[in-house]
Amino acid sequence: MQSTLERQRKALWSVRPKHVAALAQSTQALCLDQMQEITYRDLTSLSDFATVVDLEQAIWGPGYTEPVPVPILAVTVKRGGILIGAFDGLRMIGFVYSLAGLKGGRPMQWSHMAGVVDQFRNAGIGYRLKLLQRERALQMGLDLIEWTYDPLQAMNAHLNFTKLGVVVEEYEENVYGASQSPLHRGNPTDRFVAEWRIGAPHVVRRVGAPDIPLRTHEIADVPRANRALPSGEWHECSALDLGIDDRRLIVEIPMGFTEMLANAPDLAFAWRMDTRRIFATYFARGFRAVDFLLDRNGRKGAYLLVRHLKL
Ligand X SMILES: CC(C)(COP(=O)(O)OP(=O)(O)OC[C@H]1O[C@@H](n2cnc3c(N)ncnc32)[C@H](O)[C@@H]1OP(=O)(O)O)[C@@H](O)C(=O)NCCC(=O)NCCS
Question: Near ligand X by CB under 6 A, which window of 24-32, 100-108, 116-124, 236-244?
Answer: 116-124
At its nearest, how many Å lie between ligand X and the CB of residue 158? 5
User: How far apart (Å, rounded) are the C-alpha atoms in residues 88 and 298?
Assistant: 35
Q: Is 191 in the site for ligand X (CB under 6 A)?
A: no
Q: Is 127 in the site for ligand X (CB under 6 A)?
A: yes
Q: Three-state SS for 273?
A: helix
Q: Is 164 in the site for ligand X (CB under 6 A)?
A: no
Per DSSP, helices labelled H in the chain are 4-10, 20-25, 46-60, 70-78, 125-139, 154-157, 201-208, 257-263, 265-284
Q: Find, among 238, 233, 229, 237, the residue nearest to 268 by Cα.
A: 237
At its nearest, how many Å lie between ligand X and the CB of residue 211? 7
At its nearest, how many Å lie between ligand X and the CB of residue 143? 21
Q: Is 85 in the site for ligand X (CB under 6 A)?
A: no
Write phi, then psi, for 228 (nearest 5 degrees): -95, 105
Among 51, 109, 133, 156, binds ligand X (CB under 6 A): 156
Beta-strand pair 234-238/227-231: antiparallel
Q: Is 158 in the site for ligand X (CB under 6 A)?
A: yes
Please say which residue, 210 or 307, places its beta carbon nearer to ligand X: 210
Please say which residue, 55 or 290, places its beta carbon nearer to ligand X: 55
Taken as a whole, the chain contains a residue count of 311
Among 123, 145, 203, 289, binds ligand X (CB under 6 A): 123
Among 81, 115, 151, 256, binds ligand X (CB under 6 A): 115
Question: Near ligand X by CB under 6 A, which window of 65-73, 125-133, 186-194, 283-291?
Answer: 125-133
Q: Find, among 307, 290, 301, 287, the residue nearest to 167 by Cα.
A: 290
At its nearest, how many Å lie between ligand X and the CB of residue 150? 9
Can you give 189-249 as a three-state secondary structure string? CCEEEEEEECCCHHHHHHHHCCCCCCCHHHHCCCCECCEEEEECCEEEEECCCCCCCCCEE
Q: Find, among 93, 171, 167, 85, the residue nearest to 133 by Cα.
A: 85
Please say which residue, 116 or 249, places its beta carbon nearer to ligand X: 116
Per CB under 6 A, which of residues 7..46 are in contact with ligand X?
A: 19
Q: Is 114 in the site for ligand X (CB under 6 A)?
A: yes
At its nearest, how many Å lie between ligand X and the CB of residue 285? 29
Write phi, then psi, for 210 (nearest 5 degrees): -70, -15
Interface residue list for ligand X (CB under 6 A): 19, 59, 113-116, 121-127, 155-156, 158-159, 163
